[in-house]
Chain A
């Protein structure tokens, strides 16, 4: 199941958000997308999910362009977990997960026992079986995010797209969630904020900057001190382990001397 974007561009309000991106997602891999705020990660994920159509270029699944595929066909193969999708409806945890069956049901093909089974398994997978009857508004952010993952799993996709899935979660839930996703027999594309999460969980990392993919490769190839400085404007040390993995240590920006002397002068004056 290969997902491929070819010179895909998308703009909003006269501003180019995604700029001629080429990207091929390999079957079974965990591909991370990193980049500063506003670099186009979310928009690229939406384009890959087919919920936005590109202004130019095309996204295709197994060689079939999205433009020639129905939304339902795409949703049977690709699931998307957005950043913090919320509702004020009084639904239970279980009902939220049941929504994942939508692309497999029609107005005339009713809910069946096998659908119940799939929902049960998805709930068990994310460790939320005991919460099935709880109302959505009584659940914590971490629990809700796990249910969104369960909803996506109930969709039985081959490809799972995640847009910053660990936002607002504590470190235990961040690692737990990524480990959970990593353990699925799925192709995963995830926009990630934390470079160390990308280093630990991704097979490949794509770096986005101002709408373009500026680098693509394994974590050790991608996470270099130079690149972190040019893309994020942050000074960092990248340390390598013997097993080939790497991790990023951020450093405080070096203070700019003329600014300090300016401040001191002002203080003198005030005295």
Chain B
């Protein structure tokens, strides 16, 4: 298959992509309030993975391994997954404003989270993450049901998503204003804007397989996504089983988004804008666009996490603030340059 504007050998492309990703991860572990040299990061990884036995400062090693590296890996997974979801939903719904939260998932997650955190549903058996996950899946199920009942077409899906999002956002606000104290309200606010602070290795064990599995499912359907260029009927006439592809891909994106939101909160902007940025870089063919978007999203999210930790000394900003604050001007630059080039 022809590779859009960038024409490069496939193997070297994959190797370059992996090198960039690992470099970003290493920087994510090195940069912070206490700067740690890159070679210490490398040695820590060698010690932990292969028992290399390099003598290291225990505190440095602990910071790198227990806090920063797990955090960077989850940030990468989250950025990759949200970007993939954005690419897939924009293609399937043929709407350039589609993002991973268009199906009501982040709204449902927030309702689930406040239900657990403030109303105490689950009587301490449910964590905030689990509550968010169930809320997200419940909202998605409701939105899908509504979309199916409303009839065919991508318009119905988007409208059902809007209705679902409004409903669950209202429920969240209702619970917060009625029952939360100031401290809880602030905590929820922080969570909603995205927060990687509590992330540890068990979260990696969840996020990594979901992100990789999601990437594989999407890549498997890359040609089908291409076939939607001229709409669903045209895709059908090209031999794509449209209904099955819709069900598989929309469920996959919903599941990916629900998992990521339940781990880190609903981080905005990435899933909407990284797909467009990736299209500017590599063109519209999904065989290349999907991995490119995943990589760009992963690196962008690691960078955003680094910034969120260092931009104000002694304070961690919600990562959602950074993704939009830095991402929006960056995207504006890409937009205007892309226009000048064409």
Contact = CB atoms under 8 A, between A and B. Distances in A.
Interface of A: 46, 49-51, 70-76, 78-80, 82, 85-91, 94-96, 98-100, 102-103, 105-107, 110-111, 135, 155
Contacts of B226: 99, 102
Contacts of B231: 85-87
Contacts of B234: 80, 82, 85
Nearest to B241: A71
Contact of A90 (B1, B223, B240, B284): B284
B131 to A, nearest CB: 37
Contact of B227 (A94, A102, A106): A102
Nearest to B240: A71
Q: Can you list the 9 inter-chain pairs with the closest CB atoms, starting with the nearest? A: A75-B239, A103-B239, A72-B239, A80-B237, A51-B236, A85-B230, A111-B1, A102-B238, A89-B284
B238 A75 contact: yes
Nearest to A90: B284
A74 B229 CA distance: 20
B239 A46 contact: no
Nearest to B285: A95
Contacts of A135: 342
Contacts of A79: 237
Contacts of B233: 46, 51, 82, 85
Size bracket of the B interface: 20 to 34
Interface string B220-262: 1111001101110110111111100000000000000000000
8 contacts: A50-B236, A73-B239, A88-B94, A94-B2, A99-B227, A99-B229, A103-B239, A111-B2
Contact of B230 (A73, A87, A90, A103): A87
B238 to A, nearest CB: 4
Interface string B271-291: 000000001000111000000
B237 A49 contact: yes
Contact of B239 (A87, A95, A102): A102
Contacts of B94: 88
Contacts, number: 81
A50 B233 CA distance: 10
Contact of A95 (B223, B240, B242, B284): B284
A114 to B, nearest CB: 13
A91 B1 CA distance: 14
Given A82-B234, A107-B219, 19 more contacts: A51-B236, A71-B240, A72-B241, A75-B237, A75-B238, A76-B239, A85-B234, A90-B284, A95-B2, A95-B284, A98-B2, A99-B226, A102-B227, A102-B238, A103-B238, A105-B223, A107-B222, A107-B223, A135-B342
A226 B342 CA distance: 56
B96 interface: yes
Interface in B182-228: 219-223, 226-227
Given A102-B227, A107-B222, A74 B239 contact: yes
Nearest to B151: A13
A72 B239 CA distance: 4
A70 B238 contact: no
A79 to B, nearest CB: 7
Given A75-B237, A110-B1, A111-B1, A102 B230 contact: no
A105 B224 CA distance: 10
A91 B239 contact: no
Contacts of A98: 2
Contacts of B239: 70-76, 102-103
A107 B220 contact: yes
Which of B94, B96, B236, B283 has the most chain A CB atoms inside 10 A of its CB? B236
Interface in B94-135: 94, 96
